[in-house]
Amino acid sequence: MRIVKLDPEPLDAVPYLSAASGGGIEHIELPVHSGKVEGLPAQWEALIVTSDLQGTCQASAIGQERLLGEELAEHLALLLQLEFPKIDPQRVLVLLCGDLYADPNVRGSSGDPLPVLRAFSSQFGSVAGVAGNHDLFSSGEPQQLEQVLFFEHPGIQKAAGMRIAGLGGIMGRADRPNRMPKELFLRELKRLLARKPDLLLLHQGPDKPTLGLRGDAGIRKQLESASDTLVCCGHVHWEQPLAEIGQVQVLNADGRAFILTQA
């Protein structure tokens, strides 16, 4: 599978509230980009990829705030009807790369992202995902949701007509949630790449120094020797969302959403 086109200008945007770095709340928009991908299995008409949905939206019908990901799921379903009316939502695969919870009053807050997984699984055919370092499940296990493939632990599964691998969380102290010592993280990554997945979902991604893109050099070095695969990640924002590392394409979906249709 290979991305052959990403439209630089957003197709749409979703307004939301987020905790500002200097305190208080800021109003932001999450851009939605369209693109083309080759090699999508026949059972799927599109991929949706997103990550780091760290904000909330006000649901006008009930006057309450809800997670940005809950709003985004409904928004993308409507956007498909308007812009891609021939695409069946049940033939759309959603890829979620973590950090789906937010409290707009507390920057860097952690909490339960299950409502976001539930929202996407109710709108689209299937969902695959990994946890970010701010995702703490408290209201249930994601594996209980129908049509959701969630990698609680590093692994690879044949699903959705392809081999999907997932490695969530970030490198760090093992006594903190969703963190793994760097040596173990890179060893797990190497093991997954050796099995040649079609898709690899990460939360923490590689750097690309030649393009000025931040990330982890150890992850990049593992990807440099890997065979052809599509890696989706987030955690650190890239101004340029798509990069190539050896034979691997990396799509950084931090603070963005992508609708990728068959080329």
Could you count the other beta carbons within 10 Å of the beta carbon of residue 78? Answer: 11
Q: Determine the Cα–Cα distance for residues 109 and 67; give it in Å rounded to an integer.
A: 13
What's the CATH fold of domain 2-262? Purple Acid Phosphatase; chain A, domain 2 (3.60.21)
Q: Determine the Cα–Cα distance for residues 191 and 200; give it in Å rounded to an integer.
A: 12
Residue type at 36?
K
What pLDDT shows up at residue 24?
A: 84
What pLDDT shows up at residue 69?
A: 97
By DSSP bridging, strand 64-67 and strand 56-59 are: antiparallel
pLDDT grade for 20, boundaries at 50, 70 and 90: confident
Q: Determine the Cα–Cα distance for residues 203 and 97; give it in Å rounded to an integer.
A: 5
Torsion of CA 197, 142, 233, 245, to 10 degrees: -10
Share of the chain above pLDDT 70, in %: 97
Burial class (CB in 10 A: 0-12, 13-18, 19+), 58: middle
Share of the chain above pLDDT 90, in %: 81
Span 47-54, mean pLDDT? 97
